[in-house]
Structure formats: C-alpha cells, structure tokens
Amino acid sequence: MSVTAAKGFTAAGIAAGIKENGNPDLALVVNNGPRRAAAGVFTSNRVKAAPVLWSEQVLRGGEVSAVVLNSGGANACTGPQGFQDTHATAEKVAAVLNQGGPEDHSAGEIAVASTGLIGLLLPMDKVLAGVEKAAGELSAHGGEKAAIAIKTTDSVHKTAVAEGEGWTVGGMAKGAGMLAPGLATMLVVLTTDADLESATLDKALRDATRQTFDRVDSDGCMSTNDTVLLLASGASEITPRYEEFADAVRTVCDDLARQLIGDAEGASKDIRIEVINAATEDDAVEVGRSIARNNLLKCAIHGEDPNWGRVLSAIGTTRAAFEPDALNVAINGIWVCRGGSVGEDRELVDMRYREVKITADLSAGSESAVIWANDLTADYVHENSAYSS
C-alpha cells in the first residue's frame, strides 16, 4: 500500500520533534529509479508557502529523486527565512542520500512539502536531524509510516493503490480541514513503477486532480500549501497505454479524495452533490460548488433537514444556464422540489445515514459533475476556533 506499493521506492516516517506532542512528523520518500520522471499540481492560492514555491521550481525540471514532507508547521508566510529553510532541508536530503554512494542526488531534484500552522518558522535543528534519522530508516515497506507522519488533525492516515498489468500506482494523502477547490491543506504523494515521461505523468495527474481533489469542497477554504506529486521509477520496465495509466491515477486520487471528505474536521455527514442536465460541465461544477459552500444548507444537512429551499437559493447565485421554474432537486432520491416548487413530501426523505445525496437537475443540457462536501457542525467550530490557541 501507500507510496511503497510500486517498485523502486523506499520511504520512512519518523518523529523529529517538530510536533510538541512527540508524534511522527517527518516523512521521506525516495525514488530509487531507474527513472525519475515526475509531475506536480500545487495550490492556486496566490499566497503560497515556501515549500510550494520551492517544489514548483523543482518540478519544472520534470525529475524528482525524493520528497521530504513534514507536519507540525506549514512554513507559510515566513518570508525569506522560510524559503531558506526549505532550501536547506532539500540540501540536507541530498547530502544524506549521497552518503556512502554515488553523488547522484542534488537539492534541485528534492521536492519539499509542509503542513501545519501558518506563520511559524520551522525548528530547523529538529528538521535537519529528522532528515538524517529518516534516511536511516528508509525501507521498501515504509509507506505506511510515511503516511502516518504527515497527519495533522487527521484521525486516520490515508493510503490507496491501483494495480495495472505488471505495474502499480500507490499513494498517500493527508488533509482534514481547509479542503477546497484548487486542492486543500492537502499533501498527496503518488508513486508508480510504470515507465513514463514527465509530460505524460503531468497530463494524467492534471486530468485526475481536476475530477477528484478539485471537486472536494469540505469548507470552501483554500490552503497555501496544497501539493500533489506523482513520481515514476520505471522499475516495472513497462510503459502502459495512457488511458489505462490515467485511469489508475484517477482511481487512486478518487479513493484518497473520498477518504479526505470522510475524515473532514468535525463533520457528521458526507454530502455527494450531483448536478445533472447542465448546459456545460463548467456550469455543473459551478452549481455544485455553490451548493457545497452554502453554510445554511450545510447546517440543515447536519440537522437532517431536507431543506431544498436552501439548495435553490444556492443555485440562484450562480451564472449557470437554467430557468428557475425548471429546477428539480432530489435529496436521497426523493424529488422534494419539482419545477422550482414543492415536489414530493419532504417527510419521505431518510437522512439518518452519514452519506447524503443531493441531485440538482438544471434541465438545461446533458452535462454533469459530482462535488463532495461536508456538513457544518458545532464540532467544526470547536476544532477550528481552538486550533492555534
């Protein structure tokens, strides 16, 4: 499972002491080749953390030999010192990986990812010592430990895998809050032993994230640190057909995205919003996102109240093509709104289970999209009002 499911990768997860509670907080993933092609997708937030600025630069080269990730601090909004710290971390990884072997790791091919509180410098003595410790524990079975070390408020670690014919895609993710489009405080590392060029990896990764992570909208907040990386070792010596590979990457991303929603901070419901009969896919996504972000609706779902008026209210704020009196809305299969007005009896809607399905029929075309969201709960407020203090 995880990032060591594919051949050619080793990983480790250790406690470096960045987190005050002593929990694991530093992960290292190394691509042992023979190939090092890579692709990455980063937050679209214009306020980007130092490791995002660094890793974007690394990915421009199309090759990544290792990824170092830490929880316990986002290294965001930390100025020039924060960027120097990221650079120093990459240099340290290259140095320890080169010890006792050929000097084939350079900092310029080491991606860095951080997650945790914004506005704090990392304790670099602990980070650098942690890198050394992690390098000593690298193992072809280290994927699980790496996934555990990147948790912040996650209640469980998240891994997934998809098998091709003779090749594998595996991955790990962390994220439990600030889940929103353009990704989230979400760190994801995917690995594969397929033998592919970075341009192919990039296309497969962008196609997958657009339909998976980008359609997860737990709380409408977009982070400064979101990073999704895909590393290919080529160790299987197989070059799969693009469609097969892209499908496997999407499967792993979808699996991880669902795990993120299922573990969102303080949530009691996972809401699957399907927008159907839209004029365009963009319309479907815009409408789905508007519904996903409506705090009043999110509260109603928490209260198991099939309040379809709030769905219509949310649809009405979009620019999508629709006529108000042609809108239909189903909640858990009951069409409580038909023709923009009262439909089936709302008392028929059973909302006892964690998953709630909202279907919004725009009657304007044949495109569709699914957006995942969470309800809004008192627990969410409690977790996020006490997080840094």
- Please report, in range form, the residues annotated as the binding site for substrate: 152, 174, 185, 265, 384, 389
- Residue 317 touching its own copies (CB under 8 A): yes
Positions annotated as catalytic residues are 185
Under the criterion CB under 8 A, does residue 365 sit at the interface with its own copies?
no
Structure tokens that stand for 185 in this block: 């405080």
Window 77-96: contact mask with its own copies (x via CB under 8 A): xxx--x--------------
Vertex 218: Cα angle to 177 and 144 (nearest 5): 50
Q: Give yes or no for residue 279 binding its own copies (CB under 8 A).
A: no
Residues in the chain, overall count = 389
The DSSP bridge partners found for residue 370 are 274
Helical segments of the chain, H only: 50-60, 79-98, 124-136, 143-149, 198-211, 242-262, 281-292, 295-302, 308-315, 378-385
Binding-site residues: 152, 174, 185, 265, 384, 389
Out of 308, 361, 364, 372, name the contact with its own copies by CB under 8 A: 308
Q: CA-to-CA distance for 325 and 278, rounded, in angstroms?
A: 15
Q: Which residues contact 77 (CB under 8 A, 6 or more apart)?
A: 47, 49, 118, 119, 224
Single out the residue of 93, 291, 300, 369 in contact with its own copies (rule: CB under 8 A): 300
Instruction: Tell me the window of 15-23, 88-96, 235-243, 335-343 that interacts with its own copies (CB under 8 A).
Output: 335-343
Choose the binding region for its own copies from 30-38, 76-84, 197-205, 273-281 (rule: CB under 8 A).
Answer: 76-84
Q: Which residue has the tokens 């790791």?
A: 105
Site for its own copies (CB under 8 A): how many residues?
68
**Contact between residue 6 and residue 235 where contact means Cβ atoms under 8 Å apart:** yes
Task: Write out the binding residues for its own copies, residues 186-245 only, by CB under 8 A.
Answer: 219-224
Nearer to its own copies, 47 or 140 (CB): 47
Q: Which of 149, 315, 334, 358 binds its own copies (CB under 8 A)?
A: 315
User: Which residue lies nearer to its own copies by CB, 75 or 233?
Assistant: 75
Among 60, 241, 354, 382, binds its own copies (CB under 8 A): 382
What is the spatial distance between Cα 123 and Cα 101, in angstroms, rounded to a whole number? 29
Assess 389 for contact with its own copies (CB under 8 A): yes
Residues 6+ apart with CB under 8 A from 282: none
Closest to 42 measured CA to CA, from 178, 237, 188: 188
Per the CB < 8 A criterion, the answer to whether 167 and 39 are in contact is no
Near its own copies in 98-137, by CB under 8 A: 117-121
Residues that bind its own copies (CB under 8 A): 44-48, 74, 76-79, 82, 117-121, 177-178, 182, 219-224, 293-296, 299-300, 302-305, 307-310, 312-318, 322, 324-325, 327, 337, 339-342, 376-378, 380-389
